[in-house]
Structure 1
Amino acid sequence: MVYLDNAATTPMSPSVIDAMLEVMTNHYGNPSSIHNYGRDASKIIRQSRQTIADILEVPAHDIIFTSGGTEANNTALIGYALANQDKGRHIITTSIEHHSVLHATEYLKKRFGFEITYINPDENGLITTNTIKNALRDDTIIVSTMFANNETGSLLPIKEIGEILKDHQAVYHVDAVQVAGKVPIHPKELGIDFLSASAHKFHGPKGIGFLYSDSNKFDNLLHGGEQEDGRRPSTENIAGIVGMSQALIESSKEYDKNFSYIESLKEDFLEAISDLNFYKNEFGPTMPHVLNLGFPNQNQDMLLMKLDLAGIAISTGSACTAGAIEPSHVLSSIYGENSPKLKENVRISFSEYNTKDDVDKLANKLIEILGE
């Protein structure tokens, strides 16, 4: 079996599983309880929060635990917009965002009358700083972009956007789900006010993530308790929090090594299929972890089915749209809605757990299938 769909989710690290098992076995108290079991659980959460904060180089209080990237994105966008309507009702984002951002902004538009500007990629498939700058208005209160696209790996100009917002009232929200745990991220250096991350993208468990919030005023999406200083009521997922913390510790120790290794896997794979007829859906600087390819006149669904039958897992795009018949909204925004390229693309995504043998097996199977 070969798993190359790491942009959807990654396998959990053995040390993460061990850390979670130890917590589930020995530290099962409710963190809100005042007895010894509760205090023990609360201490573990504080330690994990501090660990994550130290890696991001931010105050521990600015880390809010969530159920994942979708909740973090919704909290930042909806929570901040509703709490700051007196400053303006205009939001800027891009047409290539994850649906948890696009649907959240559409909700704000339809339910509360916010005005949303969606920035489209330019003729080179890029989101540029100037297009963001030109879209800014006096009543803009949020700019939201992803750090790297989940379908193409394209990196957005995060630091440059943060720079132009220094003298503007708008806060900057960054969906870093595809980047957290893969490269160092220091929100304060980048001018980021809100940052979303999800543990299962960097070998942690599913169902846990965090939102970095630079002490901005925002409305809660949940109500009912004082957990997370009242910002995210709900009994904390202690095992998940510990697992996420452990996963980020592991990843942060090997940033450069893992990045270089994945670059080599990508290069080896492209070399192995160099005789095939394909093109790269690659736009500007990219994360090597995600490779989006198009095979002319090859139906993506048939290709994925044949690979799956051979025990090889890749995808056509975001896992959150799995089973949907719509073409990629990311590639649609670049090529146009009627482009034949929308039906012939596949996404291959690597992690440091993959081997050269994995990419060779995929390459050989593609050569076999496309040579039929």
Structure 2
Amino acid sequence: METRKIYMDYAATTPIKKEVVEAMLPYLNEEFGNPSSVHSFGRSVKNAITEARATIAKAINAKPEDIFFTGGGSEADNMAIKGIAFAYKDKGNHIITSKIEHHAVLHACEYLEKHHGFEVTYLDVDEYGIVKMEDLKNAIKDTTILITVMYANNEIGSVQPIREIAQIAKEKKVFFHTDAVQALGNIEIDVQELGVDLMAITAHKIYGPKGIGALYMRKGIKLHPLIHGGAQERRKRAGTENVAGIMAFAKAVELATSNIDEHIKKTTQLRDKLINSVMERIPHTILNGHPTKRLSGNANFCFKFIEGEAILLSLDIVGIAGSSGSACTSGSLDPSHVLMAIGLPHEIAHGSLRLSIGDMTREEDIEYVVGHLEKIVERLRGMSPLYDKFMKGEKAHV
């Protein structure tokens, strides 16, 4: 079987599209002014940022003044969580989140607990990684000031009932933040319809550059800034703007949302082909996440009796790029906190593989990946004492 280069890790990051690079280039060359400068060089760039802000706002049905640019999704999450916590600490010190959040959310909450005396409730999820509404309602106290639950999980792809959560938060007069980093470009987002108060998004998951993101924040909310300095971003986020990144982000959002129906249809078909082929051809495999309420490009499996790291390395040798979970924790030897939260035992959670599909994925790529994966799993199980023991036990019961 020939060796090709197949990228199946779009959930970690995406290649930058040609149109996005073209949108950046003028702001790396001739349009180099500082947006805070009063002369024509600065004014020209400031006007461009204003247009970019309006483009991004329109894509999620927000107002331009509700969009605050950041250095990425993690900063936007931190800005929302710490910003609300410090701005409203006189009203309460309780935050609610889930056990399957991105570490940008979990570590921000842990920081507030450890260093600033906040109380955090980490909600359990069901076997598919979905927060239970009854648990959420029961967790709310008089001191609760913020609920933060991600829109779609970066590892297992499960999509949360965001409208319901937002409605519960509204009824209890609690702010609601959602990390929509994986959702943007993969789910149609309307912040007015959803009813969220704050939402984190980023460019590099939608074929834009790394290092640029944004926080949507509904008008009227106070926010304690993380970064102090100049008056940029309406005094919410100091620092000279990443102009080229902002222009690229706007173009990436425009492209991602203008053909979103076609994108969802294509990636859903390829995802289902991938999932069905793997589940049919490779025995003792578990599909992680909700079977239908999941991101269109996400497939996450656990292969019993073998290690995910060995699968990844073997796939890489034949030119296939996948992941064992979140790219932010790929250096960790611990099993995924998400897989543990959905109830998988330690030994099974270690055998995880996330394959994520994007705009450049083709049907023949799925065939190539499944063909190699089937052989890799068979070979690794052939060396596994756990699998040998299991097979001997099966034969003993025949």
Deviations for 1:15-35, whole angstroms, at most 9, x for unmatched residues?
A: 001111122122111111111
Which residue identity lines up with residue 34 of structure 1 in the other structure? V
Aligned-partner Cα distance in 1 for 2:334–2:377: 24
In the alignment, is residue 104 of structure 1 matched against residue 108 of structure 2? Answer: yes
Which residue identity lines up with residue 238 of structure 2 in the other structure? P
Shift of the alpha carbon at 1:126? 2.6
Residue aligning to 1:300: 308
Deviates more, 1:94-103 or 1:283-292: 283-292
Aligned-partner Cα distance in 1 for 2:126–2:272: 27
Deviations for 1:159-198, whole angstroms, at most 9, x for unmatched residues?
A: 0111112222210000000001222211121110000001
Shift of the alpha carbon at 1:13? 0.8
Shift of the alpha carbon at 1:125? 4.0
Unaligned runs of 5+ in 1: none
In the alignment, is residue 261 of structure 1 matched against residue 269 of structure 2? Answer: no
In the alignment, is residue 167 of structure 1 matched against residue 171 of structure 2? Answer: yes
Shift of the alpha carbon at 1:271? 3.8
Matches within 5 A, 1:26-175: 26-123=30-127, 125-175=129-179
Which residue identity lines up with residue 340 of structure 1 in the other structure? E
Deviates more, 1:124-133 or 1:55-64: 124-133
Aligned-partner Cα distance in 2 for 1:369–1:96: 29
Residue aligning to 1:232: 237
Aligned-partner Cα distance in 2 for 1:172–1:199: 22
Deviations for 1:327-365, whole angstroms, at most 9, x for unmatched residues?
A: 1000111225x4321111110111122111221211111
Deviates more, 1:47-56 or 1:270-279: 270-279
Residue aligning to 1:310: 318
Q: 289, 298, 312: which one pairs with 2:297?
A: 289
Residue aligning to 2:281: 275
Residue aligning to 1:351: 358
* Bigger radius of gyration among the two: 2
Residue aligning to 2:250: 245
Shift of the alpha carbon at 1:11? 0.8
Deviations for 1:209-260, whole angstroms, at most 9, x for unmatched residues?
A: 0000113101000011011111111000011001010001001111110001
Unaligned runs of 5+ in 2: 380-398
Corresponding residue SS for 1:294: strand
RMSD over aligned Cα, in angstroms?
1.2
Corresponding residue SS for 2:28: helix
Q: 373, 377, 380: which one pairs with 1:370?
A: 377
In the alignment, is residue 13 of structure 1 matched against residue 20 of structure 2? Answer: no
Kindly, what percent of the aligned residue pairs are identical? Answer: 40
Which residue identity lines up with residue 127 of structure 1 in the other structure? V
Aligned-partner Cα distance in 1 for 2:98–2:363: 35
Q: 1:167 to 1:125 in 2, by over 3 A?
A: closer
Which residue identity lines up with residue 175 of structure 1 in the other structure? D
Shift of the alpha carbon at 1:49? 0.2
Counterpart contact for 1:143–1:172, Cα < 8 Å: yes
Q: 224, 233, 236: which one pairs with 1:219?
A: 224
Aligned-partner Cα distance in 2 for 1:341–1:288: 24
Which residue identity lines up with residue 253 of structure 2 in the other structure? L
Aligned-partner Cα distance in 1 for 2:166–2:322: 34
TM-score after normalising by structure 2: 0.91
Corresponding residue SS for 2:149: strand
Q: 1:134 to 1:69 in 2, by over 3 A?
A: same
Aligned-partner Cα distance in 1 for 2:106–2:215: 18
Residue aligning to 1:177: 181
Counterpart contact for 1:140–1:169, Cα < 8 Å: no
Counterpart contact for 1:147–1:179, Cα < 8 Å: yes
Corresponding residue SS for 2:177: strand
